[in-house]
Homo-oligomer: A and B are copies of this chain.
Amino acid sequence: MSAEEILNELKDNVVKRAPGNAVITDVEFEGSEVVIYAKNPELFSNNFIKELAKDFRKRIAVRPDPSVLLEPDIAKERILRIVPDDAEVINCIFDANTGEVIIESKKPGLVIGKEGSTLEDIKKEIQWAPKPVRAPPIPSDTIKAIRSTMYRERADVKDILRRIGRRIHRDVKLRDYCWIRTSFLGGSREVGRTCLYHQTPESRIMVDCGINVGMDDEKAFPHFDAPEFSIDEIDAVVVTHAHLDHCGFIPGLFRYGYDGPVYCTKPTRDLMTLLQKDYIDIAEKEGKQVPYTSRDVKNAIKHTIPLDYGVTTDIAPAVKLTLHNAGHILGSAIAHCHIGDGLYNVAYTGDIKFEASRLLEPAVCQFPRLETLIMESTYGGYDDVLPERDETEKELLRVISETIARGGKVILPVFGIGRAQELMLVLEEGYNQGLFNAPVFLDGMIWEATAIHTAYPEYLSKNMRNRIFHEGDNPFLSEVFKKVKDTKDRRNVIGRDEPCIILATSGMLTGGPSVEYFKTLADDEKNAIVFVGYQSEGTLGRKIQKGWKEIPLMGKNGKTRAIKVKLSVHTLEGFSGHCDRKQLIKYLRKLKPIPDRILTIHGEASKCIDLASTAYKLFKKETKSPMNLDSVRLR
């Protein structure tokens, strides 16, 4: 049956079973959902929808027909009239494609009202489905821009969703005799340009599509020259998390003709948009070729279908996807594909952290079924045991208080997403405990990334959620943090007499404000620089770490001048967002069920091989550390 025929059958069925007075105006595929539009959606009970979903084996949504929705401006006015002023409504965000309105307020309880009475009143009045949420404490420009794009281009987005829906439900002959395999197009036995390509006779699923920012040639990008790769054949793209080595080329796919869905969590969508735009900016400043423009970034946003953790959805004929928490950065996910009605399951961990961090819960390690696990190996080598987190935090605070005591400034070059927020939480606690008394300046994209973190509290750890919601104590809002808004601000920070702490991107001093701070603060032995992340060979960060005493740097006038390095240099390894070797092994030990096959990628060759060998010793199952361009038959 064609998608059209399936849809017609569904329509007939829905009309037949719907409550007698329901006015159904349309039934459509939108993404993997079947959406029923009705003039009186309130007539469809949750039970009715559940039964329909069970019978059709599809996700069902019932939405108001657009004709019954009030104009957003008028609807907003009515909302503000109904909701008591004490609620402090900040924003109403209308999503024309779902018929929902997100009501951001300081006290969402008052928007809900006693036993939901206020919500009921709103719904009756405007027809839009109200979703009350707590207003994020820090406004995010990225989220604002994304929402505005989605609203402005809602017609286009709806077309895209319908096209995707028809593709997912297209007519294919699913055979008993079915093979499944995965090609490794990048990020195998290396870190950077991660790209997996799952294939069945009927479908092609790409998981991650990263870039290696440290490379200038074709090694920067995945192997699109792999003979099995054809951009026209991709059914779905899945993104595990927002780091560029996993998502950096996503807009490039659209530039080169892809027009299908991108599945990821909402935080991943927003954070990757931020990073991709930043990548374009930096590359343009450095006069490098960028493989896409902001137009392609926007196109990727429009094609993104956000998924929450634990929700299973059709992404191709006989292929379903579930995302699970990976504990690495906000919104990071394990991509679990169920192929052939769940007969075969392959999960890719993405990057994982298997211990509770201040920000996030540890990675999920139990799955309903699992035949092949593809796992990261960043710290998979025999010697890759990192210091304990507690000790590392103490050490950081010790360096900071010593530096401040002698009147110096501390530079913390950080990667804007993930590590920066973890460090903020450590610093906030240290400050509260009186371990130091100096401001923490945030420069680069850290502020904006933090704003995105505060917009998705449901993705944070239980502790954090408790603190924010029940104790009304949002650590990111601490008075200790000061935003560096512009270069004038930055000059003031550099020039101030008092000690301070500076969190600045980029993390390896490959560009951005951290380099500016270093240039002017390096010459004074009172100051300190603390590396909390991996420094690649060849970067400025690595040179400083190695103890170079003089480093030639290009000045603004194009002339090279030698920077004298007198400040004290520290390296703290215990802040990693990755599992170290002990945690990787613990993850394997806790893993349920034990898969038939474990493939190790995302690490230097020796680390991938060490981890594969360890996994073999643990389970006596097939393990392998594939190479880029290997294609492994899974079934």
Contacts and interface: CB of A to CB of B under 8 A. Distances in A.
Given A201-B225, A227-B199, A627 B633 contact: yes
B225 A630 contact: no
Nearest to A229: B227
A179 interface: yes
A290 interface: no
A204 B179 contact: no
Contact of A631 (B179, B217, B218, B631): B631
Contacts of A225: 201
A630 B218 CA distance: 25
A26 to B, nearest CB: 36
Contact of A228 (B218, B227, B627, B633): B227
A520 interface: no
A320 interface: no
Contacts of A233: 227
Nearest to A630: B633
A177 B218 contact: yes
A629 B181 CA distance: 8
B177 A631 contact: no
Interface in A605-635: 627-633
A183 B633 contact: no
Contacts of A229: 227
A215 to B, nearest CB: 11
B629 A630 contact: no
Given A226-B228, A228-B226, A228-B228, A631 B201 contact: no
Interface centre among A204, A218, A228, by most chain B C-beta atoms within 10 angstroms, is A228
B228 A181 contact: no
A230 interface: yes
Contacts of A177: 217-219
Select the residue from A179, A227, A627 with max chain B CB neighbours within 10 A: A227
A188 to B, nearest CB: 9
A629 B204 contact: no
Nearest to A201: B225
A186 to B, nearest CB: 12
Contacts of A629: 179, 181, 631, 633
Interface in A499-553: none
Nearest to A183: B631
A219 B632 CA distance: 19
Contacts of A183: 631
Nearest to A624: B624
Interface in A403-445: none
Interface in A566-582: none
Contacts of A633: 627-630
A627 B182 CA distance: 13
Interface in A226-253: 226-230, 233
Interface in A243-301: none
Contact of A630 (B181, B223, B627): B181
Contacts of A181: 629-630
A464 to B, nearest CB: 43
A230 B230 CA distance: 12
A226 B180 CA distance: 10
Contacts of A230: 227
A432 B179 CA distance: 56
A226 B233 CA distance: 13
20 contacts: A177-B219, A179-B223, A179-B628, A179-B629, A181-B629, A181-B630, A199-B227, A204-B227, A226-B228, A227-B227, A227-B228, A227-B229, A227-B230, A227-B233, A627-B633, A628-B633, A630-B630, A630-B631, A630-B633, A631-B631
Given A177-B217, A181-B630, 15 more contacts: A177-B219, A179-B628, A183-B631, A199-B227, A226-B228, A227-B227, A227-B228, A227-B229, A228-B228, A228-B631, A628-B633, A629-B633, A630-B631, A630-B632, A631-B631
Interface of A: 177, 179, 181, 183, 199, 201, 204, 217-219, 223, 225-230, 233, 627-633
In the complex, the 8 A-B pairs of residues with the closest C-beta atoms, listed nearest first: A631-B631, A227-B228, A228-B228, A627-B633, A629-B633, A630-B633, A201-B225, A199-B227
